[in-house]
Structure 1
Amino acid sequence: MPPAGPGITGAGGETVRWVTLPGLTLNVRTPAAPPKADAADRANAAVSDREPALCVHGLGGSSLNWSALMPLLADRVAAEAIDLPGFGDSPPPDDGNYSVHAQARTVIRYLDAAGRGPVHLIGNSLGGAVVTRVAAARPDLVRTLTLISPALPEIPPQVTALPTALLAIPAVARLFRRLTREWTPEQRTREVLALCYGDPARVTPEGFNAAVDEYVRRHELPYFWEAMERTARGVVNAYTLGGQHGLWRQAERVLAPTLLVYGGRDRLVSHRMARRAAAAFRGSRLVTLPEAGHVAMMEYPEAVAREFRELLDSVTRVTGAAVTGATADTGRS
């Protein structure tokens, strides 16, 4: 996952804060408040009647992955993005558990502690698998669900995704580290952008330099490879689970209105899984962005924001119709 979007190193006015829970410390990123009509409203920007939203990144990503999208939604939702344990600026969990189930439990614990639920839950890649589990286990916490290239079981995976899956094998991960020891940060960044973007040329020179700097910082963290290996192993294990704990079964249990966004040039999550996902998530809306890769919210944030707004509008229309119908029935009674 690229650590930052095309030219995004953290949008102006963003704030970050630490949230401490038993055994966890999470970094939470919030975009600048939307423009207000007058100074009094600007002074009270922290107090908002906008519905809350929470964004969850993928393997190797961070809350920065949402810096391009969140400001585009700021007039409709009060969005936050978290760094999952071991990624971004969040330290590893005390128990060393990086499974998809543990990541979902982290999101649930954060939402319960913050008292922000129900929220509009948005996830990309690994984050899509995580929030699917959250929506299935705790429907009371989820207003809507938006999944961007979610990492749902695809067996066998497409060939271009195999190297990522192999990170789950410790011996292979160590071999990869030795083979790439001489790679420059620029080489590492180009390889990852080529894997994740439909068109890496969309990344600005400033964005590329910011990504290089972020990779240098991350590779200096003593737990970087451990977090990558154990999280990749957690994804592979989640793919092999059957029965009620399988991710596809979890998808069938989701009650929240769901938006599915897939990229036509995604090299990590095959576009062929889109229709299966649309069938699994009842009443879902499926959108394909033909030129997008694995991180559509970073490549085409305006398009993703437009589809998310349509999801909100459709929910509002359905809710309004239900309220109108209930009022009419009461009047007839």
Structure 2
Amino acid sequence: MKPAILRPDHLLPAHSVPPPWPGRTVRLDGATTYVRDTPATGPDAEPALYVHGLGGSSQNWTDLAGLLTDRLDGQAIDLPGFGRSEPGRRYTVPVFAERVIRWIEYSDRGPVHLFGNSLGGAISVRVAAVRPDLVRTLTLVSPALPFLDFRRSLQGRMLPLLAIPRGERLAAWRLAQVAPEVMAQQVMEACVADLSRICDQRRQEALEEIRIRYQAEHYAAAYVRTFRGLVSTFLRSYLPGSGSLWRLARTVSAPTLVIGGRQDRLIDVRVAPQTARVIPDSRLLMLDDVGHVAQLEVPRLVARAVLGLLTEMGDSARRADLAG
């Protein structure tokens, strides 16, 4: 593990607040997957894929993807049951990872620069471990790798729900009791350390995302079942067997950037450093006064770290060419 390199801010595009990138539905293996495209502006841009976290969507990557268009030709997908993608039959990390793998294969863009936030980070670790041929570099923002002290997460309050038969019905009832505006504020407060960093446009977009969730009958079940699947993955990771995410992380060969916020209220703040220690070729960036979604809260800082990784990889490739 080594510290992340931050490239100068002036290498990024001027500050702007782009609208959500255009999206489209794709029929893949009998189910509809929604994907947003962030077209490259540079001639030598390489393919990138962005994977959101639990309860999120492809919109979570709008700013970061826009800042990186000179270097990356981006796509962001909605996982099954979230955003505008159809619900799935099962909601586990291995199942989601297989969907990401299938998308990379279907789009024929691999190997990609793979990005994952929270649940998307856990999924991306598994993808990089089981299909290293599909991953060029790996960037993990507050990855939801296993930890057992749920007192260190606001999500710990949901654990009793998992013990209730058909707990998704209770979750759906609870969702219906809270106004979308209140829910959007609660989500922001849970994920972001400094709400002043979130502009009015992003707040409005978050509210629209919440309203879409209220209209999707499957959403509450998808959320609860995904959370149950994630907790199950956490528990299995501390038992013998090949499915442990920590064991898989040790096998990741892709150059990796791990970013954590010291004010993360959803993932134990010790997880990001531990992830960087476990993954062999890793760089770590811990951000003061930043929460769970650094790519939303401080996208320029995250983009500078990504540019540092990409520059390092380019330099290594040039040295290898000269040596050859």
1:99 matched to 2:69? The reply is no
1:125 matched to 2:118? The reply is yes
Counterpart mapping for 1:151-162 below 5 A: 151-157=144-150, 158-162=152-156
* Contact 2:143–2:272 (Cα < 8 Å) also in 1: no
Q: Deviations over 1:223-267 (max 9, x none)?
A: 011111111111111111232210000100100000000001100
Give the whole-Å Cα distance in 2 for the aligned partners of 1:300 and 1:231. 27
Mark the CA change 1:318 to 1:166 in structure 2 (over 3 Å): closer, same or farther.
farther
Of 110, 117, 138 in structure 2, the residue corresponding to residue 145 of structure 1 is 138
Give the whole-Å Cα distance in 2 for the aligned partners of 1:276 and 1:165. 24
Mark the CA change 1:164 to 1:59 in structure 2 (over 3 Å): closer, same or farther.
farther
1:23 matched to 2:30? The reply is yes
Give the whole-Å Cα distance in 1 for the aligned partners of 2:157 and 2:48. 33
Offset at residue 300 of structure 1 (A): 0.6
Give the whole-Å Cα distance in 1 for the aligned partners of 2:242 and 2:230. 17
Give RMSD over aligned pairs: 1.9
1:141 corresponds to which letter in structure 2? Answer: L
Offset at residue 82 of structure 1 (A): 0.4
1:10 matched to 2:19? The reply is yes
Of 282, 285, 290 in structure 2, the residue corresponding to residue 284 of structure 1 is 282
Q: Deviations over 1:203-225 (max 9, x none)?
A: 22333233222212211111011
Q: Secondary structure at the match of 2:113?
A: strand
Offset at residue 72 of structure 1 (A): 0.4
List, as ranges, runs of 4+ consecutive aligned residues in structure 1 with deviation greater than 6 Å.
none
Give the whole-Å Cα distance in 2 for the aligned partners of 1:266 and 1:150. 11
Larger radius of gyration: 1
Unaligned runs of 5+ in 1: 1-6, 37-47, 327-333
* Contact 2:264–2:290 (Cα < 8 Å) also in 1: yes
Q: Secondary structure at the match of 2:291?
A: coil
Give the whole-Å Cα distance in 2 for the aligned partners of 1:272 and 1:310. 23
Of 189, 197, 208 in structure 1, the residue corresponding to residue 192 of structure 2 is 197
Q: Secondary structure at the match of 1:271?
A: coil
2:60 corresponds to which letter in structure 1? Answer: N
1:252 corresponds to which letter in structure 2? Answer: R
Matching residue of 1:245: 243
Give the whole-Å Cα distance in 2 for the aligned partners of 1:164 and 1:120. 33
Q: Deviations over 1:101-145 (max 9, x none)?
A: 000000001111111110000000000000100000000000000
Of 263, 276, 284 in structure 2, the residue corresponding to residue 265 of structure 1 is 263
* Contact 2:34–2:84 (Cα < 8 Å) also in 1: yes
1:21 corresponds to which letter in structure 2? Answer: L
Offset at residue 161 of structure 1 (A): 3.1
Of 287, 291, 294 in structure 2, the residue corresponding to residue 293 of structure 1 is 291
Give the whole-Å Cα distance in 1 for the aligned partners of 2:84 and 2:168. 23
Offset at residue 322 of structure 1 (A): 2.1
* Number of residue pairs the alignment of both structures matches: 304
Matching residue of 1:331: none
Of 55, 69, 84 in structure 1, the residue corresponding to residue 50 of structure 2 is 55
Give the whole-Å Cα distance in 2 for the aligned partners of 1:324 and 1:206. 48
Give the whole-Å Cα distance in 1 for the aligned partners of 2:144 and 2:123. 9
Offset at residue 200 of structure 1 (A): 2.0
Q: Secondary structure at the match of 1:244?
A: coil
* Contact 1:70–1:79 (Cα < 8 Å) also in 2: yes
* Contact 2:143–2:271 (Cα < 8 Å) also in 1: no
Q: Identify the range of structure 1 (127-136 vs 266-275) with the bigger mean alpha-carbon deviation.
A: 266-275
Q: Identify the range of structure 1 (270-279 vs 174-183) with the bigger mean alpha-carbon deviation.
A: 174-183
* Contact 2:154–2:265 (Cα < 8 Å) also in 1: yes
Give the whole-Å Cα distance in 1 for the aligned partners of 2:209 and 2:272. 32
Offset at residue 283 of structure 1 (A): 2.3
1:26 corresponds to which letter in structure 2? Answer: T
Determine which structure has greater relative contact order: mean sequence separation of CA pairs < 8 Å that are 6+ residues apart, divided by chain length: 2
Offset at residue 22 of structure 1 (A): 1.4
Matching residue of 1:323: 321
Of 218, 229, 236 in structure 1, the residue corresponding to residue 231 of structure 2 is 236
* Contact 2:176–2:214 (Cα < 8 Å) also in 1: no
Give the whole-Å Cα distance in 2 for the aligned partners of 1:265 and 1:213. 26
1:65 corresponds to which letter in structure 2? Answer: N
* Contact 2:172–2:221 (Cα < 8 Å) also in 1: no
Matching residue of 2:302: 304
* Contact 1:9–1:64 (Cα < 8 Å) also in 2: no
